[in-house]
Amino acid sequence: MAHQTGVSADADDAGRVSLMNDPKARGLVFQALLIIAVIFLVYSGVSNAIDNLARAGIASGLGFFGERAGFDIGQSFIPYTNDSTYLRAFFVGLLNTMVVAIIGIFLATVIGFIVGLARLSKNYLVQKFATVYVETLRNIPLLLQLLFWYKAVLSILPSPRAVGLEPGVEVVFNLNNRGLYMPRIVPEGGAQFILFAFIIAVVAWFFIGRWAKKRQMATGQQFPVFLTGLALVIALPLLTFLVTGMPMSLEYASLQGFNMVGGWVIQPEFMALLLGLSLYTASFIAEIVRAGILAVSHGQSEAAFALGLRPNLTSRLVVVPQAMRVIIPPLTSQFLNLTKNSSLAVAIGYPDLVSIFGGTVLNQTGQAVEVISITMLVYLTLSLLTSAFMNWFNSSVALVER
């Protein structure tokens, strides 16, 4: 103690010593120098690149975004023709990436949770099956899995002509090497009411949940929120559908000329990418889920049983909430990985952002620096948004510790 007092006495004297020897001031100076060096490095890199592009006679700038793209894209969620601009082509690619990422994240999470729970199952077969699933899929490179789904599974399906379809005859479901064909729902006048009914049902579900919780707090009585909600969500739109006079029709696919026409099609490239991404990522999520559940001490569930909670309630009210705080942070990383891995789409011809924008647009305009920078920026933005959302979600489900 005596020694430490001596040191702090020295520090008090430091106020009169020159700034050179003040560790705080020195630290600030070095940090400022570092920032200046980094800024200078970035500045000189960028200005050098601009100078050299100009000197090499390579066009630069973002003017190309307004030009006519002039190429077609196989799958688009927004209206796009070859007369659209490069900017629109960019959005087509971005949407294709986001759609596959969002559906992929959803599927991967569902499969991951199921497999993760199955690995903890007491059923020998289920548990072994889940183990084999995890150990196989997470140990094979994703690119190979994508190629497997695309080339070894979907490409060897027969062509529409070879599956024995008669030209012009409508089919309900058909899987061939051009895709999975299903009936398409064509909304007619009044169909928007069905959507409204659905939204009302969801909102009602939410408020019933809040009311039930309040009532349980006050009286201890429980209410079957889930079943009521589910019934509402199904029954209300269905009722509207009948009342408004069934304002929807189904459009079926049929073979016409070379290809299937009409209906709703999921292209094989999309299927392969979605399968590959979600099954691969699910194997990691399964391990995260298993780790999260095992991290909850056994005493917790024993205590819950001792209080008389049934196994179902024990896991829903005691185990899962505590497991979630272990699960969510690494789960975020898996979501980010899935989004970024979707860029492997280029290997199997799915028109994602990298394929359309970083591929075709880059090549037609030749502006590699701009196109690659923007592509990187887009993935960065997507990842940061995902993380921000997951952080918000994490803090909203986190246990309040005292």
- Using CB under 8 A as the criterion, which residues of the chain lie in contact with other proteins when the complex forms? 45-46, 48-49, 51-53, 55-59, 70-74, 82, 143, 151, 155-156, 158-159, 162, 177-178, 256-259, 261, 268-269, 343-344, 346-347, 349, 351, 354-355, 358-360, 362-366, 368-369, 372
Q: Indicate the residue among 49 and 110 with the shorter CB distance to other proteins.
A: 49
What is the closest distance, in whole angstroms, from the C-beta atom of residue 53 to other proteins in the complex?
6
What is the closest distance, in whole angstroms, from the C-beta atom of residue 33 to other proteins in the complex?
23
Q: Indicate the residue among 105 and 142 with the shorter CB distance to other proteins.
A: 142
Look at residue 247 and give its three-state secondary structure: coil
Q: Indicate the residue among 344 and 382 with the shorter CB distance to other proteins.
A: 344
What is the closest distance, in whole angstroms, from the C-beta atom of residue 45 to other proteins in the complex?
5
H/E stretch holding 273: helix 268-294
Measured at the CA of 238, the angle between CA 234 and CA 241, to 5 degrees, comes to 155
Q: Indicate the residue among 314 and 367 with the shorter CB distance to other proteins.
A: 367
Rounded CA separation 34/47 (Å): 20
Tokens in use for 65?
A: 């975004």
What is the closest distance, in whole angstroms, from the C-beta atom of residue 347 to other proteins in the complex?
7
Q: Indicate the residue among 48 and 391 with the shorter CB distance to other proteins.
A: 48
Tokens in use for 239?
A: 């009722």
What is the closest distance, in whole angstroms, from the C-beta atom of residue 343 to other proteins in the complex?
6
282, 111 contact by CB (below 8 A): yes
What is the closest distance, in whole angstroms, from the C-beta atom of residue 158 to other proteins in the complex?
8
Rounded CA separation 162/160 (Å): 5
Helices marked H in 120-191 — which ranges?
124-137, 142-147
Look at residue 68 and give its three-state secondary structure: strand
Enter the DSSP assignment of 170.
E
Q: Indicate the residue among 58 and 246 with the shorter CB distance to other proteins.
A: 58
Rounded CA separation 24/18 (Å): 12
